[in-house]
Amino acid sequence: MRLISYNVNGIRSAIKRGLIDWLKTDPADIICLQETKAEKANIDHSIIEDLGYQTYWYSAEKKGYSGVAIFTKPQPDKLFYGNGIMQSDAEGRVIRADYGAVTLINAYFPSGTSGEIRQTYKYEWLDEFYDYIQSLRKERPNIILCGDYNIAHKEIDIHSPKSNKKSSGFLPEEREWLTKFTASGMVDTFRVFNEEPHHYSWWSQRFPTVREQNKGWRIDYFMVTEPLRQRLKNAAIFPDVKHSDHCPVYLEIDF
């Protein structure tokens, strides 16, 4: 099974930049999008469904904000919208699909870059989400968790760790949370296959040349619970796909 996770930073904008043509190349069996900034009715979703994908959307209550979606060729057994936590669900941050014994969760973690209030909420969300995943694992031990985590975990995951030590997304508390999360039995799939530096999935739009210079952050992940490690086939990042300030991350796994 081929999976992609992709923060499109507005699906309508991404479509204008060629997202549909890219989907026509059959990049994956299941595509998880974050930051759709739209509802299903806002776009001509029939174009996507004509490519063989069923589309499932979970949008924020606020128009043009946040939102996640799953485009899938295999039929999921069950869909779950949200994770039962009020503010997270109001912001359209989590959608889950079960395929047999495997649970796929697509999540858009909050950013704290807009100020102290959102940074405080980000910490709250991380704690709530940690408990949500640990509880779910008791019932569903085979979990794939993909999305924009909005955290670069280690120095290898960011182009300039020294100058970003006080930047949201690379703060010590955020990185410690991700260390705790992986220590609990969540496998960072990209690092199973690639331990080299200079692999990033997001580049700031404030500085137009940083993507060309590859001065980015790796903040988009596929993580799996430990029982799925032996089923991993490949993981990659596709920096040459450019419909967003992020790029797709890829996982191949035996369901």
Residues assigned a catalytic role: 148
CA–CA separation, 156 and 190 (whole Å) = 12
| Contacts by residues 138-141 (CB-CB < 8 Å, ≥ 24 positions apart) | 140/98, 140/101, 140/103, 141/225, 141/227
Task: Output the CA–CA distances (angstroms, integers) from residue 188 to 23, 50, 201, 241, in the order listed.
Answer: 25, 33, 14, 22
DSSP string of 99-166?
ETTEEEEEEEPPP-TT-HHHHHHHHHHHHHHHHHHHHHHHH--EEEEEEE-----SGGGBS-TTTTTT
Which residue in 237, 228, 155 sits closest to 202, CA to CA?
Answer: 237
